[in-house]
Amino acid sequence: MIGYDMSWASFRVIEVMSASWFGHKRVGYLAAALSFTPQTDVILLATHLFRKAFTQNVSTDSATTEGLKYETGAALSCLANICTPDLAQDLLSDLYGMMNSTQPYLRKKATLVLLKVFQQWPKALRLSFDRLKEKLSDENQGQCIALPLIRTM
């Protein structure tokens, strides 16, 4: 896919990202991360898909939540690769919610995605400074190690 024009398949990639099976979603997120550019027209359609992936991990069943964490992680990785100023502005509050997740895996990934958000929408750094300061005292070392990466920006 790298080096080839895939703009003709942009809408199909969005359709695969919205599939119900995780295997299809993972392929869709990977295709979006590799082929979408800031000029891709359908990138704004992904906003709802990201928001849905970020808020679905609040299930009470631990087995369901365990699987959803990887789906949310795939969505976070995709967002880090295709982040635009509009996506950054729309999804900042959802990333704040992910930073307060009970799962350290998601907290760390959400903190690292903030680096890309800050690069695309610098005003977000000023809005998030207090939350980042709170995360310095997190009990998870992975979360604390992720914060200096943002500081080097």
84 occurs within a structural domain: yes
User: Which one-letter DSSP state was computed for residue 100?
Assistant: T
Q: What pTM does this model have? A: 0.84
2 occurs within a structural domain: no
Nearest to 50 by CA among 123, 113, 139: 113
1 occurs within a structural domain: no
pLDDT, one tens digit per residue, over 17-64 is 999 899 999 999 999 999 998 888 898 889 999 999 998 765 445 555
Report the mean per-residue pLDDT for the chain. Answer: 84
List the CATH number of the domain containing 116: 1.25.10.10
pLDDT, one tens digit per residue, over 108-129 is 898 889 989 999 999 998 888 8
Question: Is the C-alpha dihedral spanning 17, 10, 114, 125 positive or negative?
Answer: negative
| Contact status, residue 127 vs residue 136, Cβ threshold 8 Å | no
Residue 60 structural domain: 7-151
> What pLDDT band is residue 104 in, cutting at 50, 70 and 90?
confident
Q: State residue 144's pLDDT score.
A: 62
91 occurs within a structural domain: yes
Please spell the DSSP secondary structure of 35-61, one letter per residue: H--TT-GGGGGHHHHHHHHHHTT--S-
Total of domains in the chain: 1
**Is the confidence at residue 4, as pLDDT, over 80?**
no
> What pLDDT band is residue 74 in, cutting at 50, 70 and 90?
very high
88 occurs within a structural domain: yes
Q: State residue 48's pLDDT score.
A: 92
Q: State residue 128's pLDDT score.
A: 83
141 occurs within a structural domain: yes
